[in-house]
Amino acid sequence: MPRLAALLAFAWVAWPFSQYASSSNTNDTIQPALLVWGFYAVSSPALRGGLAALSAWTKLGALIVLPLWSGYPEARRLRPRLAFLAGAAVATAAAFSVLLLEPSPIDAAVRFLHRTFGYQVGRQSPFSIWGWGQYHARGLPDLAVVQKALTGLLLVGAAALAWWPRRRSALQLAAFTTVLLAGLELVLTHWYYPYLVWFYPFAVITLLAI
């Protein structure tokens, strides 16, 4: 175990994109850091749920792994899943308690939804092939239909992982987390290189812990 811990730390430090994300002064490293701590506390459903929720509210992309994480280690056991959801709910309430500092918490919540979910859903970007259609240039295909189809498959897969496989090991949890986060990045219209750190820790865990 100490050898694996040293390898994981070295893998993070030696990977150029972890430093790129840090040098960009983004919050992209906070999301995987919270997920890694959630993975460390994998045996505690409530703590795992709380850290996963905090990760998701740091970068919305982590929402994709919540169904998977709620079903560890046995998807058909109700009590651990309820404890996970309770932990996620408490963490979410704590995170959004700052809205109570606003003169109108409801207006602040609506503004939050508009500037996060609303903004991201309709966001245009030149940083992926999915954004080419906005330029209406000859020779650049509009791949919106393909993007929607792949997004649908990703969401179906994320929902299925809430229940299958019925039992999942910690290593499987890391592997499926890698697939979901990497899959999400593949269908994002706005993609940027700091996003690579979202799934990298779990990819390294999967590869080195085998």
pLDDT digits (tens, 9 = 90+) for 112-143: 888 888 777 777 777 788 877 766 666 777 78
What is the average per-residue pLDDT within 178-184? 96
Whether the predicted pLDDT of 5 surpasses 70: yes
Alpha-carbon distances, residue 118 vs 59, 60, 115, 182, 192 (angstroms): 14, 12, 6, 22, 19
Candidates 95, 101, 113; CA nearest to 30 is 95
- CA 179/CA 176 separation, integer angstroms: 5
Instruction: Indicate the DSSP class of residue 184.
Output: H
